[in-house]
Structure formats: structure tokens, C-alpha cells
């Protein structure tokens, strides 16, 4: 049986990666699609595990070759989902998680209306700012760009099938695992979190 395509999106700092890791550890038949990006690796990130790190020239070549399911520019960097690896997972019966920003999520929804969409958000924009500042990975200008983007992303949450609010880490973890199980096991989208 073919797997399902699952898009997880939401503002930077919402805790998407942490919740996805919890789901991958707890729900069988889930796989994670590693995105490609032109941004520089952060400390501890490994090429091929966290992202496929490409130069802008390499990324643009992949675009021209039609190798992306979706791609977008976000905070002055390019991000994209390599289509071949996603298709391989789906054919193997694994449900594939794409962790992508709103622009890319919308492109996937247009190209693949069967995709299941999950929106993850922090309890407030103030908390989003606090989490981003806590990362200490961006200068103040980049932080402000991310906050502006976060504001527009939060207003788009109604476009998603499920929503997980990451206000209590344990509850959010349980909500994400339950949501992923529902999707993988064929539950109804009407069972929104």
C-alpha cells in the first residue's frame, strides 16, 4: 500500500523539528524527507541528514532539471524538496513528512491535493520571538524578517487539515504523535487536533 504525503509547516521557532522527531520515533511507517537548501549549515548540522546543502548555482540547476516537488525562497535562501526521494518512500509504503514553510506547503497542496497538511505554532508571537532569540542563530535583521514571515504564516493556519499548538511540550508531543497515527492509519481529517 502506498504511503501518504504529510506536510508539516508553521512559523520558525514553533518546534516543528522536535515534534517531527517525536513522531518518527513513535509512529511506524513514517519517513522524513530531507530538504535541500542554499543556507549555510548551523553548528552540528550534517549534510544529507539535516539538509542537502547546495550552492545557489547547484540549487538553480536542480530547479531547471525539475528535481523538486516544491521549492521556495525564504529569508534570502532557497529551500526545496527533492521529488525522487519522496516518491521512493511513498512507493515503499512509507508516509513521508515534509517540513517546509508556508510558500512550499501551498505549492505541494496545488501539485498534490492528496497531501495532508499539519500546522504547528507556538502559543503566541511573543513566544515565537523568544524561541528564535534563544536559538541565537540569526542577526537582528534576519530575526525581524522571520517575525514578519511568522505573522503572515499564522494567519494561514485555516488552510491546514490539522493544527498542533506547541504551548506545553508534552501535550504538543502527544498531539503530534496522535495526529500522525491518525493520518498513517487512515483516520479522517475531521478528527482535527
pLDDT digits (tens, 9 = 90+) for 80-104: 999 999 999 999 999 999 999 888 8
Higher pLDDT, 185 or 74: 185
Q: Report helix, strand or coil for 5.
A: strand
Burial of 11 (0-12, 13-18, 19+ CB in 10 A): buried
Per-residue pLDDT at 63 exceeds 50 = yes
Q: Are strands 30-32 and 68-74 parallel, antiparallel or unpaired?
A: unpaired
Beta bridge partners of 25: none
- For range 68-86, the mean pLDDT: 92
The pLDDT of residue 191? 42
Q: Model-level pTM?
A: 0.81
The pLDDT of residue 182? 95
Burial of 112 (0-12, 13-18, 19+ CB in 10 A): middle
Domain ranges of the chain: 5-184
Per-residue pLDDT at 144 exceeds 80 = no
CATH class of the 5-184 domain in this structure:
alpha beta
Instruction: Give residue 148's pLDDT band: very low, low, confident or very high (50, 70, 90).
Output: low
Per DSSP, helices labelled H in 39-168 are 56-64, 83-91, 102-111, 125-135, 140-154
- For range 56-76, the mean pLDDT: 94
**Lowest-pLDDT range of 17-21, 60-64, 112-116, 153-157:** 153-157
- For range 98-126, the mean pLDDT: 88
CA distance linking residue 112 with residue 3, whole number of Å? 13
The pLDDT of residue 192? 43
CB atoms within 10 A of CB 27: 20
Q: Which residues of 151-163 are buried (b: 16+ CB within 10 A; e: fewer)?
A: eebbeebeebbbb
Q: Tell me phi and psi for residue 37, to 5 degrees.
A: -150, 160
Amino acid at each position: 500500500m502506498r504511503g501518504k504525503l504529510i506536510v508539516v509547516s508553521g512559523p520558525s521557532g514553533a518546534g516543528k523539528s522536535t515534534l517531527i522527531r517525536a513522531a518518527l520515533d513513535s509512529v511506524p511507517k513514517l519517513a522524513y524527507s530531507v530538504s535541500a537548501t542554499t543556507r549555510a549549515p548551523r553548528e552540528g548540522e550534517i549534510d544529507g541528514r539535516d539538509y542537502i546543502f547546495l550552492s545557489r548555482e547547484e540549487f538553480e540547476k536542480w530547479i531547471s532539471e525539475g528535481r523538486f516537488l516544491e521549492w521556495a525562497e525564504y529569508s534570502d535562501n532557497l529551500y526545496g524538496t527533492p521529488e525522487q526521494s519522496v516518491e521512493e518512500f511513498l512507493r515503499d509504503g512509507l508516509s513521508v513528512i515534509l517540513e517546509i514553510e508556508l510558500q512550499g506547503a501551498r505549492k505541494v497542496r496545488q501539485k498534490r491535493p492528496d497531501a495532508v497538511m499539519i500546522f504547528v505554532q507556538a502559543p503566541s508571537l511573543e513566544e515565537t520571538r523568544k524561541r528564535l532569540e534563544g536559538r541565537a542563530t540569526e542577526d537582528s535583521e534576519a530575526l525581524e524578517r522571520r517575525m514578519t514571515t511568522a505573522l503572515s504564516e499564522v494567519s494561514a493556519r485555516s488552510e491546514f487539515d490539522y493544527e498542533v499548538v506547541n504551548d506545553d511540550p508534552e501535550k504538543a508531543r502527544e498531539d503530534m504523535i496522535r495526529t500522525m497515527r491518525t493520518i498513517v492509519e487512515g483516520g479522517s481529517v475531521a478528527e482535527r487536533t
